[in-house]
Amino acid sequence: MPDAPSFSLAGKIIIQSGGSGLLGRALVTGLAASGATLIVASRDAGKLQTLAAAERAAGRQVHAESVDLGSEPSIHALRDRVLAAHGRIDGLVFNAVSRPMRTMSDDLAGWKESMDTNATGFFAIVRALGDAMAQSGGGSVVNIASMLGLVGMNPWLYEGTTMTAPPDYFFHKGGMINLTRYLASHYGPQKVRVNVVSPGGIYNPAQPQPPAFVERYGKMTMLGRLADAPEVSGAVVFLLSDASTYITGTNLVVDGGYTAK
């Protein structure tokens, strides 16, 4: 019988953009625990140093790097530093996000600002690292979108709370999902797989969402609750691993059944 597919990331060099938020930290821990040598990068690498040091103290290989997703030279410099240090790049997790807008009536400057990271920066880093992986024989890109790229806004969820659903977020996540399909088609012949993970709402124990939102959201899912951040990392590990070598152009939705109802 053939060997079972490997869900391990041991020996793989993975770059993750964005790691200081709730989901970003969970992804760092999940990928590192699965054996990856993980380079986590953001504009302020200092915020990631403590996280990286804690992971290394636990025996995992995590390194913090700086990158400005609004600058293509900065992205290329990150790529070149990783290649010089490790010899290759096996995967990218695009988890960075900019959220300057809150409502439809916000100044257009917020819309333009979010485009720098969520659209232009996204394309620039996937192209730079996708090309590098293609030149070295293949790899895997996993983009972190959202179920909000699949559905419209539900105002009922936010009634009576200070929470909002910014329009730029819906635009960027919907665009990310379809650009992922384009990129999968472009890079497929070069053995680079490109997939997207679309999480649903994630509970934040440090800054809990309003009880009314938590209750309403739970009623919209089949599992009756928000996700815990580590529950998303398993999907990302799977798509980076050799257990998913025939999967590309796919949107893996991790939403407790919200969009399946």
Q: In whole angstroms, give the CA distance from residue 217 to residue 198.
A: 16
Structure confidence at residue 261 (pLDDT): 80
In this structure, which long-range contacts are made by residues 213-221, counting pairs with CB atoms below 8 Å and at least 24 apart in sequence?
213/157, 213/158, 213/161, 213/163, 216/156, 216/157, 217/157, 220/154, 220/157, 220/258, 220/261, 221/255, 221/256, 221/257, 221/258, 221/261
**Residue 217 known to be catalytic:** no
Structure confidence at residue 2 (pLDDT): 60
CATH for the 13-253 domain, from 3.30.360.10, 3.40.50.720, 3.40.50.10490, 3.40.50.1580 = 3.40.50.720
Transcribe 95-128 into DSSP letters: --------STTS-HHHHHHHHIIIIIIHHHHHHH
Q: What are phi and psi of 59, to 5 degrees?
A: 90, 15
How long, in residues, is the chain?
261
Q: In whole angstroms, give the CA distance from residue 155 to residue 71.
A: 36
Which parts of the chain register pLDDT below 50? 1
Residue 151 pairs in a beta bridge with none
Average pLDDT over the chain reads: 96
Buried b / exposed e across 127-146, counting CB within 10 Å, b at 16+?
ebbbebbbebeebbbbbbbb
pTM of the model: 0.96
Structure confidence at residue 46 (pLDDT): 85
Q: Which tens digit of pLDDT belongs to each residue from 123-147?
A: 999 999 999 999 999 999 999 999 9
Structure confidence at residue 5 (pLDDT): 77
Q: How many Cα atoms are found within 13 Å in the side-chain-facing hemisphere of 53?
A: 6
The residue annotated as part of the active site, out of 158, 169, 246, 258, is 169
Structure confidence at residue 217 (pLDDT): 98
What is the domain partition of the chain in residue ranges? 13-253
Q: In whole angstroms, give the CA distance from residue 117 to residue 103.
A: 19
Q: In whole angstroms, give the CA distance from residue 45 to residue 187.
A: 29
Q: What are phi and psi of 140, to 5 degrees?
A: -140, 130
